[in-house]
Amino acid sequence: MIRIRGRLGATALSAFPTMGSEVRGGDTVLTGSLEDQAAVYGVLAQIEALGLELIELRRIGPSTVDDA
């Protein structure tokens, strides 16, 4: 889950075609499956390139990484 300050329009949302979006409390929340850490960094780079303000990044659901 990625929370971005403000409501993103259709043009900004088109930069994240594999992610769903909804507005919560005036912010935009993107959700979707990111395959690996490189994909996470790619989305974060896109957010930065668009000049958007990242508020929160959170893993939801079970972890697939072995903690041992």
Residue 67 lies in a domain: no
Report pLDDT digits (tens) over 3-62. 999 999 999 999 999 999 999 999 999 999 998 999 999 999 999 999 999 999 999 876
Residue 43 lies in a domain: yes
Q: What is the pTM of this model?
A: 0.83
Residue 17 lies in a domain: yes
Residue 20 lies in a domain: yes
What's the confidence (pLDDT) of residue 14? 95
Q: How far is CA 11 from CA 23, 37, 49, 57, 58, in A?
A: 15, 25, 14, 22, 24
Confidence of residue 64 (pLDDT cuts 50, 70, 90): low
Residue 64 lies in a domain: no
Longest alpha-carbon distance in the chain: 43
Residue 35 lies in a domain: yes
What's the confidence (pLDDT) of residue 65? 58
pLDDT at residue 68 greater than cutoff 60:
no
Q: Which domain holds residue 26?
A: 2-57
